[in-house]
Chain A
Amino acid sequence: MSFSDNGFFGQFGGKYVAEVLRRPLDELEIAFKEAMADPSFLEELQQIQRDYIGRETPLLHAETASKILGGAQIYIKLEGLANTGAHKINNAIGQCLLAKRMGKKRIIAETGAGQHGVATAAACAKLGLDCTVYMGEVDVRRQQPNVAAMELYGAKVHSVTSGSRTLKDAVNEAMRDWAANPDTTHYVLGSALGPAPFPDIVREFQSVIGKEVKRQAEERHLDVEALIACVGGGSNSIGFFSPFIDEPGPRLIGVEAGGIGPGIGENASRMTGNASRDGILQGYKSRFLIDEDGQALSTRSISAGLDYCGIGPQLAALGKSGRVEFTSALDKEALEAVKFFAKNEGVLFALESAHAGAEAIKLAPTLSPEKAIIVNMSGRGDKDVFITSPVFRPEKWLDFLHAEIERLESDKDIHEAKIME
């Protein structure tokens, strides 16, 4: 059940959208199928994956970490080495190429943490497309480094002030824009969710991760026990799992944001949490954190990329069937995982991906050293320095920020000075 059955994965999925969005979705579905059957499109995609994204990404044997934990051999798929720092670029490039093929010159996207916005803005810059990114006002404020990057790539970042002013509101705003401008504009949705055909599109463009892993593991004759990935909307996980779904093994493990605890509003655990329900929201049927009326609940996670009330419909279905196992990691476990892999392997996990790292730390010691487990490091942690530094080294960070403010205020010509140097 890799591809959807007419937009559905078991009982989940669908195209639950207002009629105005129906035609753009139907047209997209047709264009996507045609593109994926066209060798010249696939060739262009492969070339840009190689030359621009930097594929294939390495599969690192985390030898020291494995030794310390004393169990299965941990391997890390370094998706964070992809250009722009996360797996999001795989999908952004794929969809932008598709949009170009459809004759659309304007791209819109939504972003929470900013990684998808950055990837889309970069893809647009690379491919010569006009780009607008919707981002909740709250996220704009807390993710300034990514906002700065998007602006450098030439994108317009539109701060969304409605609702909770976070990701789900940015999604609503992007949908509204698309509904008003379907002929000129393509909406690059950032995860494997939303109305059909997006879950299929995003999975296919992200499946490059899983295909490489499969080949890399076979070349090294690994006895893979489990694949572990973090799950926000579910794009890195479904792409990573994709070639293995219809096979009997290995175990596929999705790790959700456990936030600060199990209470309602304290996490973003849609498969493992206790506020989760079947629902229809933002165009698709899946598992959501919603109240008994059907209103979206607030969510919480230290990682902005996992902080969303819904999950991709295919993962929801695979969770239900048992093919994908779900678990969660707390904020503090993710932070510990960042530290552990940084110190022992020299890789800096993004906070999102560190949720998967945390699960590997728990699982590896329970397995024999002949077994391998593979963690998808969906992104690298450079972007998180404003979140991790206040935790790991609060005083030094405060000093740094004060000094930066002083420097900016005292030297109004700072930029020119820099350019002249």
Chain B
Amino acid sequence: MEQKINLMSHLVAGYPTDELAFTAAKALVDGGAAILEIQLPFSDPSADGPAIQGACNEVLKRGYRTKDGLAFIKRIHEAFPQVSIYLMSYGSLVYTPGIKNFCSRAASSGVNGMIIPDLPFDYDEGLTAACKENGMVNIPVAAPSMSPQRLEKLAGAGFPYVYAALRTGITGTDTRISEETISFIEKLRKGGSRIYGGFGISSGKQSAALSGHVEAVVAGSVFVRLITENASSEEALYQAVKNKALELTGCNK
């Protein structure tokens, strides 16, 4: 096996069904993913592109609740205790039930960290503290369009991990890993945070270009699309997702 690239792969809880989402999680783990970023479907996923947005809507149409999403996460955690689970969602789902309450429920379902893009690091409503109290980390999201001052502030804020969105815009379209991308990551790393980098990552070539600069490469829409395309066959879904994970982790060579 070639040098393995750390992969954090994104999955929409309950999409297209709990069973198939579980199969996808297994395929991701078998394909070498070290971290699962599991999205709790929200009615207004404003930072997501069409693939993820459509998946969230499909799940919600079934009457899916936060408790169903957390039960799904718990099942994944029990089946694959060796992988870290980060919960990704939007502020509304965390704020409405009460941030402390939400964080303790998430932690007891096996969540290790939270990624909530619309609770920015300096207006987090107590998320960072509530995560800490429950043995989780809050992982703020950085964008390449941040002003230098704001970037420095985030880099120096003492977060163990920062999620670097590698392109301006939303998830789902291709991102070119350029010199600016790498320099953005390096600036973020200056304060000592470890960086997860993603947005529009869909090929082994891209993940190889990032490895060495980031703690893990993040990929999402690419998996959601494969899951959508293969939803009619559990076996095909497993293979497609696993193969893509192997490609992104650099294990298929």
Contacts and interface: CB of A to CB of B under 8 A. Distances in A.
A162 B54 contact: yes
Contact of B141 (A19, A23, A277, A290): A19
Contacts of A26: 147
B118 A279 contact: no
Interface string A275-310: 001111111010000101111100000000000000
Secondary structure at the B interface, as helix, strand, loop or mixed, is: loop
Interface string A66-80: 000000000000000
A18 interface: yes
Contacts of B187: none
Contacts of B118: 16-18, 280, 283
Name which of A17, A176, A279, A282 has the most chain B CB atoms within 10 A of its CB: A176
A219 B152 CA distance: 56
A168 B143 CA distance: 24
Nearest to A15: B123
B79 interface: no
B169 interface: yes
B96 A293 contact: yes
Kindly state the interface size class of chain A when it binds its partner: 35 or more
A296 B125 CA distance: 20
B36 interface: no
Contact of A20 (B43, B60, B125, B169): B169
A172 B48 CA distance: 9
Nearest to B102: A294
B97 to A, nearest CB: 7
B142 to A, nearest CB: 6
B43 A175 contact: no
A23 B42 CA distance: 25
Given A19-B141, A282-B46, A295 B117 contact: no
Report the 6 A-B pairs with minimum CB-CB distance, sorted nearest first.
Answer: A294-B96, A180-B169, A294-B92, A19-B143, A18-B117, A18-B47
8 contacts: A17-B118, A19-B117, A172-B44, A176-B46, A176-B170, A280-B119, A295-B43, A296-B92
Interface of B: 42-47, 49-50, 53-54, 57, 60, 65-66, 91-97, 117-120, 123, 125, 140-143, 145-147, 150, 165, 168-170
Given A16-B120, A179-B169, 10 more contacts: A19-B145, A163-B53, A168-B44, A172-B45, A176-B47, A176-B49, A279-B96, A283-B46, A294-B94, A296-B92
